[in-house]
A and B are shown apart, each in its own frame.
Chain A
């Protein structure tokens, strides 16, 4: 026993202090982590709470009960022409708008026509088109209220109009229900008829174009770079360029698209086609990077196995590497697409921020997209658009969440273990 130093005193004071400090550090770290999780959870809960609270009311609208007695009105419409393609015009020319306004004045008192939406008569028109028999009698219509009335009915208010609205509510003439035009129409100046469908369809078309261009190009580029390209200075340069491209601010892509697609190629402005091409440019680097990582993660032993039985390089790629990399590729693609879906800046420059009153008919018709619609509505003066904005945000979030859910589903479906 000739130890140079005394044996370590594991039970001594110095050691006990070290142990206590170590435990404290562990506890502190755990608490910080928990705190971070709770904070982000609270933010998410707050966001959802506020959004759903405000936005849910954007899906409903106040209606006013107005009886219209067509027999007593000087309205002459040839019932035979109601099936014609120009039936809308025929009814409008017959002065239905004035008649509905008159009926509202009569039913709701002086200035009653100001209490209903200026587009309310269009609902009457479609009712007549559905059932021409209505023209022979008296019908009680639930007509959309004017935007100001809707706001007061939901939020309350002060002044003369508020008093009238309260009176109407007491008389049981107001009702609230799901506002279907919101899901069917495009943008409008009157909140009573403004809808999200135009922007939603525009978004879907735009993302579709972006996907069919960016996905194949991105995946093929990644496959080529990983499986075929020689590793030299040129491929290094390309790799750096792609990584930089993924970090370029999106508005730059908008300028590029404006210069190339619109000014040079002369493609249709403000259309899902040009918007989709722009977003494809923006998303492709993301897809290339995600795909390369997924391809790199395929074990080399699988490539060896396939080459060993005499598969050609193309067969190795399409029979083995691509199927195994697909979950990762799809996840990356959908996340890139979700980012593109929420993008506004590059689309500003190709004209998609214009007021578009029609639902886009195809990929070359003028259209807007969901985030742009949110931006436009948030800028509106009419208070009725506040709730519409929140409702549009909810629609956008639902679309994004379902895309993420799809990504998770696809990943689980195609994932293979070895």
Chain B
């Protein structure tokens, strides 16, 4: 593997991972991955199923902690602070590094309560009026406000799949995170809902550092500025999206993006 230092580094990175190994019990899922996540960029992780891209994503906000037997070694820094240090509070970390999951998973509560949940538990909105403002802003940013403003009391689970996913994005941005991790956010959605989410990712870029895992290479090409290609638990190539798709340095990357395997 010949990966040069300039591939890895980004001026002013939001998150920095160095030498990350992830184990599930005896099985090693991620092998020595180092990567920088840019502040104003959308970073896409691509790769065939089971290549470890979701596993790596989940170690960026320590969601792997909840998996029995999972173990992460190496260093991950958020603004220069080690997120696996004992002094790091996991709850606060997850508020700073929000997450959107593969399957839309709104709480079986009202649309309002779904968005208000995060700000409530972190005490971000002391009064009802503040909370109303936070909910409206988050739903507006997620492009859902106009569709739901007259039925905030209805259950979040009554929305369509695409709306549910945007509700989950609104829920994630309501706590004002610095990074948003998206784990295949469109894989359960139809093309129109997918297009809306992609549009939303464009709009959110610059306000949050965004990391998106996707199976869909066209999607990675459309929404991201940086792309990382994972294969068999290793980071094969990382660079500007345009370079990865037009001029890959590695043979394996080339094979994958031309559809030779995956």
Contact = CB atoms under 8 A, between A and B. Distances in A.
Contacts of B95: 309-310
Contacts of B171: 305, 309
Contacts, number: 71
Nearest to A301: B105
Contacts of B3: none
Contacts of A304: 63, 66, 99, 101, 105
A417 B63 CA distance: 26
Contacts of B105: 299, 301-302, 304-305
A310 B175 contact: yes
Contacts of B88: none
Contacts of B94: 307-310
Contacts of B85: none
Interface stretch (B39-47, B115-123, B127-135): B115-123
B157 interface: yes
A18 interface: no
A26 B172 CA distance: 53
Interface string A285-323: 000000000000001011111111111100100011000
Contact of B108 (A230, A310, A324): A324
A310 B93 CA distance: 7
B38 interface: no
Contact of B66 (A299, A305, A307, A418): A307
B108 A311 contact: no
B106 interface: yes
Nearest to A303: B66
Interface residues of A, number: 22
A309 B117 contact: yes
B107 interface: yes
Contacts of A309: 94-95, 98, 117-118, 121, 171-172, 174-175
A302 B101 contact: no
A231 interface: yes
B235 interface: no
Contacts of A413: none
Interface in A218-259: 230-231
B122 A310 contact: yes
Given A310-B91, A310-B121, A417-B108, A231 B68 contact: yes
B91 A305 contact: no
Contact of A320 (B66, B92, B107, B174): B107
Nearest to A315: B121
Contacts of A299: 105
Nearest to B181: A308
B98 A302 contact: no
A416 interface: yes
B66 A306 contact: no
B108 A305 contact: no
Interface of A: 230-231, 299, 301-312, 315, 319-320, 324, 416-418
